[in-house]
Amino acid sequence: MTALARKIVVDTATTEFATDVVAGLSATPKRLPPKYFYDERGSQLFEAITALKEYYPTRCELAILREHNADIARVFGPKTALVEFGTGSTRKVRILLEAAKTVEAYVPVDISAEMLSREAAQLQHDHPRLRVLPVAADFTLPFRLPSAIVGLARAGFFPGSTIGNFEPHDAAAFLRHAARMLGARATLIVGVDLVKDAGVLNAAYDDAQGVTAQFNLNLLARLNRELSADFDLDAFSHRAFYNSERRRIEMHLVSGRPQKVHIAGRAIEFAAGETIHTENSYKYTIESFGLLARSAGWTPVDSWTDGYFLVQALATRA
């Protein structure tokens, strides 16, 4: 190496973010990936959403987990390693662990290494005999499971109806990937939001206080902060509605007037009323989710529901 050589540090995360954003805003119709909602501010706003009276999924899922944790835990065999896909907070898995005495190792997988190590350390402290083995990875891609779990049975946990953010085809691909990662005789506990009255669904994604609107608009604020874009936040508004034909909530940001926005050296034009599609949140019935799971190599073995939300247990073949 010469004295002039310099190491060029490429921030691949920012590069991918910029690439995805430019691709999405250059497409017709315009779209942005929902995974980018969750910067620091977006995660706070999502927490605030989960406390809204209109937003039932978190409350319902927690109640189902609390009420049925003993039954859910019975799905796990003896000596099990529990892998959680996309952990964030350990609030939900703690309810399962309380009842699941055969779980000997817990493998939280999350792309945010910082939150992951914080949550894992706290959980390890509260469960000294559990082997807590965090993996910092994108849970939708293949990752290496810790070698310390060899010899243990495998189970997965995928709560929060995160699966609803995937197109059904991608949800099936994710389930196939989970089956491949967990192997034969594995079980998977998935949280799924159910099809229901459109009024209930619309209110959950368009709350009276406008917290969901702030959550949606924060995506543009984030583009201004991190990619030096120049979105005028007052010139866009939140729109969310249930598309009953496709059984999904759609969230959009609507341009209130014709305008030009600059981002990453490009100019993006908006017509008045033009939208950016920011999220789909698919809703299933017990039957439609069972069919999706079967198409991906899983067999439904048990389910728990309050009519609004579904906690589904699946198993791979022996």
Which CB atom, from 162 or from 316, has the smaller least distance to ligand AVJ? 162
Q: Angle 179-184-185 (CA atoms, 0-180°, nearest 5)? A: 105
Q: Which of 17, 31, 32, 57 binds ligand AVJ (CB under 6 A)?
A: 57
Interface map 272-301 toward ligand AVJ (x if CB under 6 A): -------x-x--------------------
Which CB atom, from 145 or from 192, has the smaller least distance to ligand AVJ? 192
Paired tokens of 115:
């939150």
Calculate helix-pair angle for 40-50, 211-227, nearest 10 degrees: 170
- Least separation in angstroms between residue 214's CB and ligand AVJ is 11
> What Rg value do the Cα atoms of the chain yield, rounded?
21
Task: Find tokens 């067999």 and name the residue.
Answer: 299
- Least separation in angstroms between residue 196's CB and ligand AVJ is 13
Binding to ligand AVJ in span 9-38, by CB under 6 A: none
Strands (E) in the chain, as ranges, are: 30-31, 80-85, 103-110, 131-132, 135-136, 153-158, 187-193, 236-243, 248-255, 259-263, 266-270, 275-282, 299-305, 309-315
Q: Which of 69, 87, 187, 212 binds ligand AVJ (CB under 6 A)?
A: 212
Stretch that binds ligand AVJ, among 121-129, 133-141, 159-167, 267-275 (CB under 6 A): 159-167
Q: Give burial (CB, 10 Å; 0-12/13-18/19+) of 249.
A: buried
- φ, ψ dihedrals at 208, nearest 5°: -65, -35
- Least separation in angstroms between residue 40's CB and ligand AVJ is 16
Which CB atom, from 173 or from 264, has the smaller least distance to ligand AVJ? 173
- φ, ψ dihedrals at 182, nearest 5°: -90, -25
Task: Give CA–CA dist 152/81, Å, rounded.
Answer: 6
- Least separation in angstroms between residue 23's CB and ligand AVJ is 21
Stretch that binds ligand AVJ, among 90-98, 100-108, 150-158, 162-170 (CB under 6 A): 162-170
207 binds ligand AVJ (CB under 6 A): no
109: which DSSP letter? E
Stretch that binds ligand AVJ, among 10-18, 114-122, 154-162, 176-184 (CB under 6 A): 154-162
Q: Which residue is nearest to ligand AVJ (CB)?
A: 281
273: which DSSP letter? T
Binding to ligand AVJ in span 174-203, by CB under 6 A: none
Size of the site for ligand AVJ (CB under 6 A): 11
* Residues lying near ligand AVJ in the complex (CB under 6 A): 49, 57, 160-162, 164-165, 205, 212, 279, 281
